[in-house]
Structure 1
Amino acid sequence: MPTDRRASNFNRNAVLWLAGAFAVGILTANFAGVDLRAAVGASVVFAVLAYVFKTQQFATLLIFTAFAFAGAASLNIEKSGVAADRLRLLYDNGTIKSGEPVEIEGVMVRGREPTVDGDLITFRAETLRIRNEDLKVSGKVRLFVQNGKNPFEISKLGSETPEAEFDISAAEPTSLLVGPKPSDLKYGSRIRVSTKLEREDNFLNPGVISRLQMLDRLEIDASGSVKSGLLIEHLADESVFVPLAWVYDQREKLIDSFRRNLSQRAAGVMIASLLGDKYFLDKETADLFRDGGTFHILVISGLHITFIGGMLLLIIRRVSRNRPAQFVLTNGVLWAYTLAVGADVPVVRAAVMFTVISFSHVIYRQSSLLNSLGVCALMLLVWRPTELFDPSFQLTFVSVAAIVACAYPLIEMLRKIGRWTPTAAMPFPPDVPKRLARLCETLYWNSDEWRIEAKSYVWTARLSKSPYLSGKIIGGGQRAIRYLFEGILVSLIVQIWMLPLTVVYFHRVSIASVVLNLWVGVFIAIESFAAVIGAVISYFGDALARPFFAAAEISDWLMLALPRMFSDNGWASFRLPAYSAAGAFVYFLYFVPIIFLAVLLSRWKPFELKADSRILGRRLLVPAFAAFVVLSFAIVFHPFSSPTADGRLHVDFLDVGQGDAALVTFPDGRTLLVDGGGKMNYRSDDDGEEPFVRDVRDIGEAVVSEYLWHRGFSRIDHILATHADADHIQGLTDVAKNFAIGSAIFGRMSAEDPDHAELADVLRRRGISATNIYRGDVLHFGEVIVEVLYPPEADESNLRSENNNSVVLRIIFGNRKFLLTGDIEHIAESALTAADLSADLVKVPHHGSRTSSTQSFIDTVRANYAVVSVGRTSPFGHPHADVVGRWKAGGAQVLVTGERGTISVSTNGVDLEVKRFLSE
């Protein structure tokens, strides 16, 4: 009998098992390496053997092995299948250097993507001219076309989240104006443009996601920008698929309608959630969604596709009962929508899933949801095996698996328990705990329906039902409580299954998401209906559309009211680090009891009388649940994530681009973060309008916090701002939000400085104490002495925070000395040279600017190592060649963070070790 059950489970979910075997092969090939020819040969051999021995039980193992080798072969094929003329290959092998001027020609593969500051266009590259040489090329290029207002460098192109789309990292405020657009450019336009294409990593630090990986996931080979659409030469319009071109035009019109008729915030939400364009979403609103664990509602994925597809199917079923017609019309419209919003991988993935399930109804086959999930996974992995390593792929399939393997079966069983009446199939009441039976009866028992049903039987029976608040929860009230209960249950189960992924990729556990997902889901649906109807009616008259847009605005306000309350009071979520290296195994181990509990649920038969199977299930349930609790505790409270004290002094200089950030770890394990990087605001609000801050992760969140989480930290003992320049202090605000902080330390600071004021507000709200230090102060961390060499103490009228008032520290441990200089310039250097400044290592002042590092200062310091904290490409030309030359002439080895990434220095007081993130 057990053999028959296993065979039944395999046959019902055969494709799921095969997809799992295929994925195992991909994993093996990625981490262990499998030769392509060997993998193909083994797959064929095992497939033939499985056919020959198809009547034997071990044939199943043979076919699994064949699929595993097929997965390994597919990964090798994808990696080796990059064409020799592919742009990504030409940049990666050095044929073309990132940032080198090129002239490139190609054809736009979709319509323009509007943004606040201009337009994004994506085109298929065909020819490229570089150094007077013409090359035939292939691959996709994404180009940002500025609208002529507030230009910024292409180096600010970046990414929001591990699963996020390509983004413009323009966190600085901009005016929400619609500038001139290259309106003649559209899907199918052949263009030629001279620009500097980039393909390189921005921030080289452990734990920080690679920009190259983000580009590859989006199938973008390189990116660039031009200051105006007038600089793009429109050569011709190629023939295109006309219906798709029409879809792109309608999408652009909807974006324009939302922007004209809705507030900035509501328009951003609607454009992101309905049309897949997140570039109008403001940071404050996005943070509310993110903090409450509901940001996925703004990203078009399975939730949107399922909702839209289901609504279409309901409408079309009223028109036609022909199943093939229903399938073609529903999926035709759904795939048109998928293409219109950019056909990004998560959307395509969800559309494939919906198509697979709906097709099973066309051929009159009841599809197992798990089997359909397997079909979708197998199709996507065959198409792109590297999808397996995409966070978005993992998040999608784990969440869907949680619903179809756990939430849906559990709700179905609870319904059966609550609605039980004696039948031939289920003659006896469910054998479940009394409290569970009462809960189910409260939610699902309908005494009126039973009285009507009982009259149709020739026999009579009295049923003992005891729902809570008997007789009071009926009708619409019962249905409302039932839907609320089921919604919360599904949300809770999904959150449990997703715990390892949300910690690893987002370092966030959202407590409130179980409730907020329902709240936000209801109101964003109402807002969407109202906004779309209003946009359609506005074609006939703006006055007719105003009530619908007003309803959308009200829904938007209500939707955000509850998340804002949770967020403001700190109830929404908390941040935590992830285990790395061998410790990361806990995340894989977590799914063992989860899957085991799901298997037990699938075998739960409360209406059967076989006591032995029930006892066995209960005996297995307790240890499985205990294992789940222990592993959950290990992930949420992460008792083993933080690095242990090793008796050495460590200083890690992070690559934060144009800025400073250095983590000091003392021999006793205490930590001091000196500066946190940030972005200078090069824009001005000339028109006096309310600034629009787009949703972009700042340096403190995307780089510094990610690095600290990667190291396993959830607490930083002290943060220190050398001065109030944005590229030093801004990132500390994010760190103060994301980590437990012991205290904050400042030098000369003015309360009127906006970045300092923002950090001070966070410190005040979190109850973190702040102190000021000046020349002559000495800090003690065990055997380590930290001398404050600058600035001198000032009176209240002279609290300016400028470069020459930066805090200068000398860290002394045994015979070794490190000098941290902030942004001091020659004036402060002159004031310091009279003192003993000797150091083994110096953080070069002001990123290597010509205004610093005077010869007398260099001679006084006499450092063996000079660390320059600056990005690979500095907007100010840092470090200056003369400065680098002077330090080298003084006997120092110059290390630049932007070239080699994080520079890590450590000492036991005698030796001195220097390591770089990137080796030679």
Structure 2
Amino acid sequence: MHPERSTSLSMLDARRRAALTLGAFALGIIGATELSEIGIVLWFALACLGLAIALITDAAGSRFGFFLAVVAIAGGLTTSQLAPEEPGSLATFLPGPDTPAKLIEIEGLILTRPETFTPKPGALAEFLPPFRQQRHTLRFSLALRHLFTERGAIPAAGTLTVWLEAPDSPLRAGDTVHLVGYARALGPPANPGRPDFRPRARDRGLIGSIAVDESMISVVPAKTKTDRLLAGLLHVRSAVQSRAADIIERAAAGDPRAGPIMRGLILGQRQSDPLDVFGSFQRVGLAHLLAVSGFHVAVAAGIALLMIRFTGDRGRIEPILVCLALGLYMLIVPMRAPMFRAAVMVLALLIGDALGRRHDRIAVLSWVAIAWLAMRPTDLFTLGFQLSFGLTAWLMVLATPRPDALPDLNEPTPGVLVMRWLKKYALTLAAMWTVATPVLIFHLGIISPLAMLASIVTVPLIVLSMWLGFMVLLLGVLIPPLAIPAASALRFTAGSAAAVVQWFDSMPLATLWLPRVSVTWTIATVLVMLWLWRRGSRRDWRVFLVLAGVLVWFGVEARVETRLPNSTGARIHMLDVGSATAILVRSGDQNLLWDCGSWSPGVGTSTITPACRSLGAPRVRTVILTHANIDHYMGILDIIKPLGVRTVITGESFNRAAAEDPEGAPAHVLNELQRLGVEHRTVSRGDTLALGPSTLRFIHPPKGFAARSENDNALVAILEPLGDSPRALFTGDIQREAIATVLENEPGLHAAVIELPHHGSARESAYEFTRIINPKVILQSTDISRLDDPRWDPVRPGRTWLVTARDGCSTVLLNRDGSLRAGVWR
């Protein structure tokens, strides 16, 4: 056999072995996650069994035994990583989300540079009342060293996220600090559509968070030689990061469009973003360009390699020099998982090149993925890991010719070479987009039809911005005057990239929000796309058949996901939005939101939209805003596009509030609804709304009603599903005056389910109203301040009482046979 062909076959075998081993390792992680009752001992026994089979059987049996051993080893590692905290651990000592935070005194080492926390922006954030506005908060990670108790200091381990109420602080990474604050453990997600961070936190040793006032934290001397050494290293890194941040901040010169791009690309930071540049990148499907990851590390490596080659051909030391340059880059950016993962990938490939041996890069990448998962097994289920390793491997595959490709023997002209490069560039982006799209649909529920076109224009601008950014950093340190023209060029390219993406974002159908899809559909569709790009042909009828099959499959899943079964008259989901209200009501194949509020400005994008999608309601055509208090409509403008809202219904009081204050939030909402082409309807007592086979009948306020309190102007409606299904009463924030009016106008009013008036505010009129309605299930949307208020105790017996502060998202099914079923998300 020809030596080159023999080498190619051996490299192909190495690729297959590495890929199969990675598959077995992933299978073990999935098994340990789904079968948590299997202990480490059993996994160890299975690993021993697999190794024994591999040693005593023939080739086929040996491969099976090795596969079984890898699965068991991965399962054992995952089980050990995700094992519950041992008794006595600080994690078991801290309270959960439904309990007030605990005051503790601790000492620890600051691991990360304190950074300003920027909450998710919202369209109505500027209208928050002063007492609810976001305070200046710094965030950093703290490695615990001691916990102070009545018996004195005791050793403690683990990491806490510290929230420091201060606009700025002299604290830096590497400082040992003593602090007193209110801590709590990580809790489960409160709403559907939100990831459960607890397994990933256990991977990283993160046990909870603590809120601290700046007067309750002080720097103390490090106690051990290890901490003193680590402090020195962290101080150096913090100083480098601060210097780089100062240079980039001066270069940004306050530009609201270019600034977020420059900070995200060069420093890996996300701070104030008044024009929502990050949001535009996310909606157009280009968020990965601003999150420091494999793409940025690869560009940084390319820049370093080009600069090295300007000095001549350095042979095998080139990869070593590039590794050193990447090490300097890693000093600048925050060492978050995507960055660290990308750096490990690139460094492994560079080391392979430096060793000078022939190797398959996909095999190397597979072994790196296995090593990463051995340290952090839960990353297997994250979008970042899947795209980082998956798309990197796919790029490597695309770099090799298709099996049926024919060589071009003609001498190409420069024009032909340019056209070939442009064609290859466009096809590569298309191949990446089509393979990544099913994964993005699964994780995010969005598809960006314009992402490929936007990438063609934006990627060169982003790469050029990175080049200029590194040049600005270098010149800012060595020759500051020369950094000024480079900074101007950087602002132009970064601002142009932002402008291009925001233009695409403004176009119709820039982003489509889709129903939830299954893991099976996602994997099958990715495999289909891989097959189409490597083996498919436009002349092959099987291509169109397979594509049609994938689309039909998606349609069937979407239909099943978005329509309630015939046995269910209606389904009610009260989301956990704190002391505010957001209730999703579903009947048949139609959905509506009864309020969409919170005191958190970003509730529309961070909570309501993903929850609706996860609950089978990717389209919510109607939203009802009960009254003009902002905690009942904070998210309205942020959910219109994602949820496809067509109609917003309010009472007369909302219109009055808008007329009385043309600069206020209600007026702003009505103006924006008109601009966006959303229908606005006003209802009062006696009006009805069809919701699938159900009817929502408004029973308050009467036309022309104007209460002294805005709460008493809130809409009240009763949901009447078809058939014998129980009824549900939605009450908004009504209090004494409205309650008296409702009872007077609706004698004999009863319902099986009630939204507790005004979040469960303890008032005599509310107690009596609830007794008269006599519900079987009570839904209370509140924070822990009203949880289990003893003044409501006489009303509790014989009823199911669901509280979002304790139970998270609460659900009630109104069945057509007259029964109902209540459940909770947590």
TM-score (normalised: structure 1): 0.78
From 611, 616, 625, the counterpart of 1:707: 611
SS at match of 2:727: strand
SS at match of 2:634: helix
From 363, 385, 396, the counterpart of 2:388: 396
Q: Alpha carbons of 1:97 and 1:896: their partners in 2 closer, same or farther (altered >3 Å)?
A: closer
1:595-634 paired onto structure 2 within 5 Å = 595-597=530-532, 600=535, 622-623=541-542, 626-632=545-551, 634=553
Report the counterpart of residue 516 of structure 1 in structure 2. 454
Q: Alpha carbons of 1:118 and 1:672: their partners in 2 closer, same or farther (altered >3 Å)?
A: closer
* Residues 118, 145 of structure 1: 8 Å contact kept: yes
* Residues 575, 581 of structure 2: 8 Å contact kept: yes
From 586, 598, 605, the counterpart of 1:678: 598
Q: Percent identity, aligned pairs only?
A: 20
* Residues 829, 857 of structure 1: 8 Å contact kept: yes
Q: Alpha carbons of 1:231 and 1:289: their partners in 2 closer, same or farther (altered >3 Å)?
A: same
Q: Alpha carbons of 1:671 and 1:586: their partners in 2 closer, same or farther (altered >3 Å)?
A: same
The Cα offsets for residues 302-344 of structure 1, whole Å up to 9 and x where unpaired, read as 0011111122123234447555543333213313433542322
* Residues 534, 545 of structure 1: 8 Å contact kept: yes
From 854, 860, 863, the counterpart of 2:775: 863
Report the counterpart of residue 358 of structure 1 in structure 2. 350
SS at match of 2:389: helix
- Give 1:301's aligned amino acid: S
Shift of 1:794: 3.7
1:338-353 paired onto structure 2 within 5 Å = 338-353=330-345
Report the counterpart of residue 574 of structure 2 in structure 1. 653
Shift of 1:276: 1.7
From 225, 228, 234, the counterpart of 1:239: 228
* Residues 725, 814 of structure 2: 8 Å contact kept: no
Return 313-322 or 302-311, whichever deviates more.
Answer: 313-322
Taking the aligned partners of 2:821 and 2:731, their CA distance within structure 1 comes to 19
Shift of 1:294: 0.9
From 42, 59, 64, the counterpart of 2:62: 59
Q: Alpha carbons of 1:642 and 1:858: their partners in 2 closer, same or farther (altered >3 Å)?
A: closer
* Residues 575, 583 of structure 2: 8 Å contact kept: yes
The Cα offsets for residues 267-291 of structure 1, whole Å up to 9 and x where unpaired, read as 3222222212223444611111111
SS at match of 1:299: coil
Shift of 1:847: 0.8
2:287 counterpart of 1:295: yes
SS at match of 2:633: helix
* Residues 643, 711 of structure 1: 8 Å contact kept: no
2:820 counterpart of 1:887: no
Taking the aligned partners of 1:218 and 1:801, their CA distance within structure 2 comes to 50
- Give 1:572's aligned amino acid: A
Report the counterpart of residue 593 of structure 1 in structure 2. 528
* Residues 240, 331 of structure 2: 8 Å contact kept: no
Report the counterpart of residue 504 of structure 1 in structure 2. 442
Report the counterpart of residue 110 of structure 1 in structure 2. 112
Shift of 1:774: 0.7
* Residues 716, 740 of structure 1: 8 Å contact kept: yes
The Cα offsets for residues 369-397 of structure 1, whole Å up to 9 and x where unpaired, read as 32122121111122222222233212222
Report the counterpart of residue 717 of structure 2 in structure 1. 809
2:763 counterpart of 1:844: no
From 714, 719, 742, the counterpart of 2:623: 719
| Bigger Rg, which one | 1
Taking the aligned partners of 1:328 and 1:783, their CA distance within structure 2 comes to 69
Q: Alpha carbons of 1:870 and 1:6: their partners in 2 closer, same or farther (altered >3 Å)?
A: farther
SS at match of 1:197: strand
SS at match of 1:277: coil
From 79, 82, 86, the counterpart of 2:82: 79
* Residues 676, 730 of structure 1: 8 Å contact kept: yes
Taking the aligned partners of 1:547 and 1:412, their CA distance within structure 2 comes to 48
- Give 1:884's aligned amino acid: W
2:238 counterpart of 1:248: yes
Shift of 1:519: 2.2
1:338-487 paired onto structure 2 within 5 Å = 338-405=330-397, 407-410=398-401, 417=407, 419-420=408-409, 446-447=412-413, 475=414, 477-487=415-425
SS at match of 1:409: coil
SS at match of 1:706: helix
2:663 counterpart of 1:644: no
SS at match of 1:672: strand
Shift of 1:409: 2.5
- Give 1:337's aligned amino acid: Y
* Residues 258, 498 of structure 2: 8 Å contact kept: no
Q: Alpha carbons of 1:235 and 1:572: their partners in 2 closer, same or farther (altered >3 Å)?
A: same
The Cα offsets for residues 744-769 of structure 1, whole Å up to 9 and x where unpaired, read as 22112234475445554564455432
2:734 counterpart of 1:824: yes
Shift of 1:538: 4.6
- Give 2:719's aligned amino acid: I
From 34, 40, 65, the counterpart of 1:36: 40
- Give 1:46's aligned amino acid: G
Gaps of 5+ in 1: 148-178, 422-444, 448-474, 602-616, 682-697
- Give 1:509's aligned amino acid: I
1:485-496 paired onto structure 2 within 5 Å = 485-496=423-434
Taking the aligned partners of 1:17 and 1:413, their CA distance within structure 2 comes to 25
Q: Alpha carbons of 1:630 and 1:107: their partners in 2 closer, same or farther (altered >3 Å)?
A: same
The Cα offsets for residues 737-790 of structure 1, whole Å up to 9 and x where unpaired, read as 112335322112234475445554564455432211012223345764432122
Shift of 1:354: 0.9
2:124 counterpart of 1:205: no
* Residues 103, 195 of structure 1: 8 Å contact kept: yes
- Give 1:778's aligned amino acid: T
Taking the aligned partners of 2:417 and 2:671, their CA distance within structure 1 comes to 45
Number of residue pairs the alignment of both structures matches: 785
Q: Alpha carbons of 1:702 and 1:96: their partners in 2 closer, same or farther (altered >3 Å)?
A: closer
Taking the aligned partners of 2:708 and 2:484, their CA distance within structure 1 comes to 51
SS at match of 1:278: coil
Shift of 1:701: 2.2
Q: Alpha carbons of 1:774 and 1:351: their partners in 2 closer, same or farther (altered >3 Å)?
A: same
Report the counterpart of residue 472 of structure 1 in structure 2. none
What is the RMSD computed on CA atoms of the aligned residues? 3.5
Report the counterpart of residue 299 of structure 2 in structure 1. 307
Report the counterpart of residue 494 of structure 2 in structure 1. 556
1:151-162 paired onto structure 2 within 5 Å = none
Report the counterpart of residue 69 of structure 1 in structure 2. 72
Taking the aligned partners of 2:768 and 2:72, their CA distance within structure 1 comes to 66
